[in-house]
Each structure stands twice: as structure tokens, then as C-alpha cells.
Amino acid sequence: MFLIFPTPAICTIQDQDATVIDTYIARQARRERGEEYKDARKVIVGNLNNDDSPETVVLYTIESQGGTNNYVQYIAVFVRRNGKLAPLTRAPVGGKSRRSIELVTVDHKAIQLETLDYGPNDASCCPSIKGKSQYILVGRTLRERKIRN
């Protein structure tokens, strides 16, 4: 049996990546006068554009904008430039009274999502209609492609 331990170089890169993501989201939260709900953050690495370098996709939520009880879910895409993670683009994908999003995977050059949309009698807390969606990277822009169930 072999045990594999991360090398200090791998840990340093992971720490640097986390710092880049934290800083990016914190800056956006300040601009929106809100704060990140960090427990809801999800990070997945996958290839969106068929090059040799995978992208890092982050689903995150900014809430309490301007003291309200609103929240918005975003997906951000980060790329590796000169060995360091750098933001490429982001898009709002869900939020209060819009829909709820769960990041599933990055495959087939697309970000795969599970969604909960609002039915006609749903309260703003509780969307109930299950669905799927995906976002593709076109240049520096994320474009949604809804998936029919």
C-alpha cells in the first residue's frame, strides 16, 4: 500500500489559487455592498475550450446586497496564465426569485448545472421545478444552453 502526500509545491499552488479566488469574490462583494456565503461556494476544474490547460469554475453566492435579504449566484471562470490563476469571466446564473443553481460538473466543453426554477405558487425561498442547464465558454463570455428534460 502506498500513501501519497501532496508536495509543498502543490500545496503552495492550491493556496495561491484559493487566495486569487477569495480576493476576486471579496472585491465583487464589496462593489455590490454584500458578502459571500462562503459555505455555498463550489470549485470544479475542467476543460472548457479543448486546450491543454483546464479552467477553474467557481459557483459562489453574494448575499445581503445593501442590507437587503437578496442573493445572487454567479459562475466565474479562471484560467492559468504564466502558471498563476487569473479571472477570465463571470455571469449571474441564479438568485432569489430567479432560480437556484447547483454546479454539477465541467465536461463536454460545458459547465453542467442542476436548477430549481419557480413555479407559479412557489414562495421566494423555495423554487420547486427541477431542471438542467449548461453554460459554454465563447471567447470571454459564458452563454447559457438550457437542457430540455
The tens place of each residue's pLDDT in the chain, 149 residues long, gives 555 555 555 456 578 899 999 999 999 999 999 999 999 999 999 999 878 789 999 999 999 998 899 999 999 999 999 989 999 999 999 999 899 999 999 987 999 999 999 999 999 888 999 999 999 999 899 999 977 76
- In the chain, the amino acid numbered 137 is L
48 in a domain, yes or no?
Answer: yes
Please tell me the distance from the alpha carbon of residue 76 to that of residue 24, in angstroms, as a whole number: 9
CA distances from 10 to 17, 43, 106 (A): 11, 17, 22
66 in a domain, yes or no?
Answer: yes
Q: What is the CA radius of gyration of the chain?
A: 17
**What pLDDT score does 143 carry?**
96
* Domain extent at residue 44: 8-147
1 in a domain, yes or no?
Answer: no
**What pLDDT score does 56 carry?**
95
Cell of 13: 499552488
89 in a domain, yes or no?
Answer: yes
**What pLDDT score does 60 carry?**
98
Q: Provide the number of structural domains found in the chain.
A: 1
Q: Mean pLDDT, the chain, as a whole number?
A: 89
pTM, two decimals, is: 0.87
State percent of the chain over pLDDT 70.
91
Please tell me the distance from the alpha carbon of residue 70 to that of residue 57, in angstroms, as a whole number: 23
CB 129 within 8 A of CB 116: yes
3 in a domain, yes or no?
Answer: no
2 in a domain, yes or no?
Answer: no
